[in-house]
Amino acid sequence: MRISEWMAESGVKFGTSGARGLVSRMDDRLCFVYATGFLKHLENLGEFGPGTKVALGGDLRPSTPRIVRACAAAVRRLGGEVLHCGAIPSPALACGAMARGIPSIMVTGSHIPADRNGIKFTRASGEIRKEDERGISALEVEVPDGLFSPEGALLSDEPDGFGAVPEAGWAHEIYAKRILEFLGGGALRGLRLGYYQHSAVGRDFLPELLRRMGAEVEPLARAEEFVPVDTEAISDRDRKLGREWGALGRYDAVLSTDGDSDRPLLADERGIWWRGDALGLTAARELGARAVALPASCTTGAELCGWFEILRTKIGSPYVIAGMEELAARAPEGASVVGFEANGGFLVQTEARRDGRVLPPLPTRDALLPMVLALSAASRRKIPLSALLAELPARAGASGLLREYPTERSAAAIERLRRATLPELTAEFAGIEGTEAVRVDDLDGVRIFFADGDTIHLRPSGNAPEFRCYTESGSEERAEELLAKTLAAMAEF
């Protein structure tokens, strides 16, 4: 049966970053099939064969060790060698594997709830692209007899790589060395940081790396059960926690990430969480970037600041990476090209150079780099993070989502809005926005621009039955007001 047929039958499909779905649908057999499809695709490209090493890791969801075990069985069944990296941040696994010139498989559902999980595939050259997804989906995969129970459970004694001792932390150290050698060991000296641990896979490794850069780090709110922290649609609970930590007057900043530690969450000394695109702009400026690729969900602050050449893309790291490649192809030699997303994930396409030091490329989402770039800038200039944020264009963004919003309903809503005329859109959103709709961008979903500069951007999630909304205005209060009104309207749409 083709992978595309497995996807249609299970509902576990490729989204914006890997295959994701309900854990109840992701039995061992399905995960084995998907990993096999990835490796067979690499075999067709001449990038996998008997003896090829494959780095394998995962996040801290309860279902992750089981899925890792099924993926490891696929690697070994095809003659590959598994390098178990255990629980590890996605960017650390990818960075280590790319440095060694080998593919990797990361089991993670990122920011989505624990009843869902996913598998992220990375070639030796970087994340798989949409063309890779199409190649994998077209492949036929046979399931060996006797390997699974009738219910789809793996019957072999395959070690899961979590209970076993992982491979000596080599990928962690390659990732750490990249940042340490660029910023230097004392880049954060004198800073007192809180680290919101929750259930993020990098909750121990990343604070220790911050200490290696000279910071004093205090762990906060460690969770025993999985907590779905979304850095793009920050929950009321996390906003409240940030304000409480800021009110203590103890920290220069509070840091965190999503579940697989590839999306950052940074709060300033007041406990106010930064928007991901504001953090991306600051990090890109610190790296001296010439050109930036970013998705349609980011605010227009990128264009207003005038610091970079900007290329807008669809939402999702594969599109941002393709945009970075396009920018790099026409950039002058030595120019730095980066990308970032509204969730704060930061990607580096070309070498960045500063003070005689070189930052190697890492064209996959990274959480730690943009946060330490902002922190080191504030420390070097002896200003608080809030003052650094104030230097950006006065554009505020807000984002939120409606959970358990059926995909068919999302598609119908977007199609109706896409077909509407500007006067119809003005009337449709009259009770929310109050001014005339002047332009529509359907690069990804529907983004409506109004005469007063406000925008409303609506799109279905690529990973879950969720409907996302992004708003932009001249103030945080107005952006949040627009968001609340739009979500309420879309719930009844």
Q: Which residue has the tokens 């780090």?
A: 217
386: burial class by Cβ within 10 Å (0-12, 13-18, 19+)? middle
CA-based max dimension of the chain = 65
What whole-number distance in Å separates Cα of residue 275 and Cα of residue 265? Answer: 8
Contact at 8 Å (CB) between 19 and 13?
yes
The string of DSSP codes covering 398-458 is: EEEEESS--HHHHHHHHHHHHH--HHHHHHHTTTTT-S-EEEEE-SSSEEEEETTS-EEEE
Q: What are phi and psi of 467, to 5 degrees?
A: -120, 120
Q: Which of 389, 415, 433 is the last residue of a domain?
A: 389
Residues 419 and 375 both lie in one domain: no
Residues 112 and 62 both lie in one domain: yes
CATH of residue 293: 3.40.120.10
Q: Which of 148, 168, 188 is the last residue of a domain?
A: 168
Q: What are phi and psi of 479, to 5 degrees?
A: -60, -40
- Neighbour-count burial for 202-237, b at 16+ CB within 10 Å, e otherwise: bbebbbebbeebbbebeebbeeeebbbbbbbbbeee
Closest CA to 197 of 227, 220, 225: 220
CATH of residue 443: 3.30.310.50
3-state secondary structure labels for all residues of 42-57:
HHHCCCCCCCCEEEEE
Contact at 8 Å (CB) between 11 and 148?
no
Q: What are phi and psi of 131, to 5 degrees?
A: -70, -30
Residues 246 and 339 both lie in one domain: yes
The pLDDT score that the predictor gives to residue 184 is: 85
Residues 137 and 190 both lie in one domain: no
Residues 87 and 212 both lie in one domain: no
At 163, list the tokens: 């209970």
Residues 201 and 338 both lie in one domain: yes
3-state secondary structure labels for all residues of 253-315:
EEEEECCCCCCEEEECCCCCECCHHHHHHHHHHHCCCCEEEEECCCCCHHHHHCCCEEEEECC
3-class DSSP state of 127:
strand
The pLDDT score that the predictor gives to residue 165 is: 63
> Is 110 among the residues known to form the active site?
yes
Beta bridge partners of 359: 352
417's CB contacts (< 8 A; 6+ apart) are 425, 428, 446, 448, 458
Q: How many CA atoms lie within 13 A of 188 on its CB side?
A: 28
Contact at 8 Å (CB) between 166 and 191?
no
Residues 313 and 449 both lie in one domain: no
Residue numbers of the chain with a pLDDT score lower than 70? 160, 163-165, 168, 462-464
Kindly name the residue from 63, 104, 110, 336 that is annotated as catalytic: 110
Q: Which of 146, 168, 190 is the last residue of a domain?
A: 168
354's CB contacts (< 8 A; 6+ apart) are 182, 287, 288
3-class DSSP state of 92:
helix
Chain segment 118-132, per-residue pLDDT in tens: 999 999 999 999 999
Residues 318 and 252 both lie in one domain: yes
The pLDDT score that the predictor gives to residue 163 is: 63
DSSP symbol at 144: P
Residues 362 and 410 both lie in one domain: no
Tally Cβ neighbours within 10 Å of residue 156: 15
Q: At what angle do helices 28-44 and 64-77 cross, to 10 degrees?
A: 40
The pLDDT score that the predictor gives to residue 164 is: 60
Residues 227 and 307 both lie in one domain: yes
The pLDDT score that the predictor gives to residue 262 is: 97
Residues 333 and 280 both lie in one domain: yes
The residue segments making up the domain with residue 420 are 396-491
The pLDDT score that the predictor gives to residue 416 is: 92
What whole-number distance in Å separates Cα of residue 156 and Cα of residue 359? Answer: 43
The pLDDT score that the predictor gives to residue 464 is: 67
Q: How many domains does the chain have?
A: 3
Contact at 8 Å (CB) between 57 and 88?
yes
At 392, list the tokens: 């950006």
The pLDDT score that the predictor gives to residue 466 is: 84
What whole-number distance in Å separates Cα of residue 286 and Cα of residue 301? Answer: 16
Beta bridge partners of 22: 116
**Strand 81-87 versus strand 467-473 pairing type:** unpaired
At 394, list the tokens: 């006065």
Q: What are phi and psi of 108, to 5 degrees?
A: -160, 150
The helix (run of H) or strand (run of E) holding residue 19 is: strand 19-22
The pLDDT score that the predictor gives to residue 7 is: 95
Residues 337 and 408 both lie in one domain: no
At 169, list the tokens: 């932390």
Contact at 8 Å (CB) between 88 and 172?
yes
